[in-house]
Structure 1
Amino acid sequence: MYVDTYIINQKHYKPIKIEHHHIRSMLFMNASPVLNSTFDLTTVIFISALTVLSVLSLCFIFHLRFKSKSLTFLQNFNSLWTVRFLLVLFIFFWSIVELLRLPFFRRRYLYPFLPALGTSEQTHLCKISVVLSLGFFEPAFLVTLLFLLNASITKKTPKDSWAITFVLVTCVPLFILHGLLVYFNPLENQIPILLRQHSVVLEDETVLCAFPFLNSVVFAAFGAAYCTWFLFSCWRVLSLVINKNLRIRIYALGTVVLVALPLQVVSLAFTVLWTPEDEIYGVVSLVVFLGAFCCAVTGEGILVIKPISDALEAGSHCGCSWSGSRRQESLPPPPPPRLEETKMEERDGDVDLEDGLLRG
């Protein structure tokens, strides 16, 4: 379809013909880069913070990996570095998928590289985000977090291949089920559109992503089973922990996960009461995002950054002791231990206990 557009060129009008979809594209490109709402802005800020935390976690993981090659003591702490790497990787990809849900992100950062990104393509991105976010990446990092928690109380460190198998066996069937509900639902014509809509197209051709109710129900079933398993695992760990600091960490991890995940499930259920055009829908969607965000931040902080920082600190003390033992034969007998040395030995004992509980 063509329309006549007139421009002023040296005191006379010159008619030119421009395709209709080119006009729509130019309007789309010239749209204000301001975010649609404060909820989009809040989501972008939290995702940016999570990305920085994920990069910091990767730095800790690889630093411990390289450090353990020269210090034998650190190899026990580094036995499950691949599993922690997977945890951070799943969290990072989940945050990227959440960005695809934001119209601002699609308009500002995807359209310059994908000029043919029309309403149908954006609708397809909304479908992909539902399947990947609720169906794979979020369950994957939650299951990996649970694996690290269970591995902390095993007498023998499990192999990395067990972690990958554990995640795939748990998440792949869930991923397939979400994909079938979005793309190949045989009951699609019998279900009200309010229960199966994954996106809404506004008059200005802005596409707003939504959470299909059936996919929310499947994720709710996963959340209920996961919370039960996670609660049992926390109880097992706490029954073996005698270190006060470790008990505080486990309590913090359990409280955040067992509060944030059910809150996310309840918020997903409430999304059916409104449409994406309503402002209250943005509030509920933000709560859904924050539920998973809190689980991700707590998992990286308690199961990645803090144990590795403690391991590096303990490794530095062990390295000093090892280097001093090489000169022991040429030195006079050591004096009786002082109070500071006794405290250091007690702290090393706590670190050895933490190695058995939160190694990796």
Structure 2
Amino acid sequence: MQASVAVEEALVAGNRTPLPVAGGADFATAALAAALAALSVAAWFVLVSFDAAAARARRATSLRRVLDLGPSPRGPRLLLAFFAGLLAFAESLRLPFLRGAAILPPRRHVMPCLAYPLLAHGVAEPGLLASVLILLRASVVSGAGARSPPASGVLAVPFACLPFLTAQVLVLATPATVAAYPGQLAHAADASGHCAYPAYAAALLLALVALYMPLLATACWDVAAVAINKRLRARAYALVTFVVVPLPVQVLALGLTSVWDVHQYASPTVGLVGFLAVVVAVEATLVILVMLPVHDALVLVEELPVVVTAAGEDARDAAR
């Protein structure tokens, strides 16, 4: 069976270029990916530990009132942390020293460069943005006095990933005899063998960001409108600044790697800028939508016994 244009281009690039040598930009990218993965694991641990503590304390209802900007379900938060870790893993596929450590057939070192957009922007980023949007919408609904079914948000995330994942798979799996297009649209590596970003993937990423930017911005402003205090309102504004604004930077940087082949380290450097933008967005999301709400809940747990004790003493004084 004939391969697709994208796969053929990757095979040709693997035959023409050796495995590249890692540079400073590659090590910086690895450090960012490790930091993002560590924060993702920490978010998972915090959520699971908090839920277990809440169940033991029999205060789950009271504690969930201070979760995030509203009582949104735990499921999207766990998915948010999972997709953040998946995004960090996908970025590692672009790194030369990890590609060299993988057990690949000879001259196939460009193939992981094709897997990167499939995993990062066909699964991880659509799922992450959908999880953020679900959490924000749940906050607005709860602020209006209603509650959304927890399962509905979790089930919506795979459907949000499906269009972008399907498009990526079709590009990689459709034979060149069925869908022929210029090979320049599928270049996954530069002239020195470093991973570039294929033009077709840049177009799909642009569509993803164009879809979610207005939705996320509108949701953040809606949350700010129903926020019960200045602290929660400031968090909503921070989400707009640190989550929505970096997305165009990511699109521009990764799009440039498909056309910018000036010198040996052009693609890694521009790719680092794009990954830095998305790391800022994802880490801000994890802190604002996961870490800070749990911190608020734990503070409430510390204050709750004091309030109850004081109320009990007042009641006893009144009875006397």
Q: TM-score, length-normalised on structure 1?
A: 0.73
Q: 1:93 aligns with which of 79, 86, 91?
A: 86
- Equivalent in 145, 162, 166 of residue 152 of structure 2: 162
Q: Can you list the C-alpha shifts for 1:180-207, whole angstroms capped at 9, x where unaligned?
A: 12332658985333221123575xxxx4
Greater RCO, CA 8 A, separation 6+ = 2
User: How many aligned positions are there?
Assistant: 292
1:306 counterpart residue number: 292
- 1:241 corresponds in structure 2 to 227
Q: Percent identity?
A: 26
* One-letter code aligned to 1:172: L
Is residue 191 from structure 1 mapped to residue 181 from structure 2 by the alignment? yes
Give the number of the structure whose residues are more often strand, by fraction: 1
Structure 2 residues not aligned, in runs of 5+: 1-17
Cα deviation, 1:13-33, whole Å, max 9, x if unaligned, reads xxxxxxxxxxxxxxx9xx9xx
Letter in 2 for 1:175: L
Question: Which residue is equivalent to 2:113?
Answer: 126
What's the counterpart of residue 263 of structure 1?
A: 249
Kindly indicate whether residue 301 of structure 2 is the aligned counterpart of residue 315 of structure 1: yes
Residue 177 of structure 1 corresponds to 167
Shift of 1:277: 5.8
Does the CA-based 8 Å contact 1:67-1:74 persist in structure 2?
Answer: no
Partners of 1:231 and 1:56 lie apart in 2 by 27
Alignment equivalent of 2:267, drawn from 273, 281, 299: 281
Q: Which residue does the alignment assign to 1:105?
A: 98
In the aligned structure 2, how far is the partner of 1:226 from the partner of 1:305? 23
> Larger radius of gyration, structure 1 or 2?
1
User: Secondary structure in 1 aligned to 2:194?
Assistant: strand
Distance 1:131 1:193 in 2: 18
The 2-side partners of 1:75 and 1:230 are apart by 23
Q: State the secondary structure of the residue aligned to 1:209.
A: coil
Residue 141 of structure 2 aligns to a residue in which SS?
A: coil
**Aligned to 1:68, what secondary structure does the other structure show?**
helix
Describe the shift of the 1:198–1:272 C-alpha distance in structure 2 as closer, same or farther (beyond 3 A).
closer
Measured against aligned partners, the alpha-carbon deviations of 1:264-317 in whole angstroms (never above 9, x if no partner) come to 112222223223963222221111111211111010000000011011101221
Contact 1:98 1:129 in 2 (8 A): yes
The correspondence of residues 1-360 of structure 1 with structure 2, limited to 5 A, is 36-69=22-55, 70-72=57-59, 73-76=62-65, 77=67, 80-107=73-100, 110-111=101-102, 114=103, 116-120=104-108, 122-155=109-142, 156-184=146-174, 186=176, 190-199=180-189, 202=192, 207-275=193-261, 278-322=264-308, 331-333=316-318
Give 1:63 shift. Answer: 2.1
Higher helix share: 2
CA distance in 1, matches of 2:294, 2:203: 37
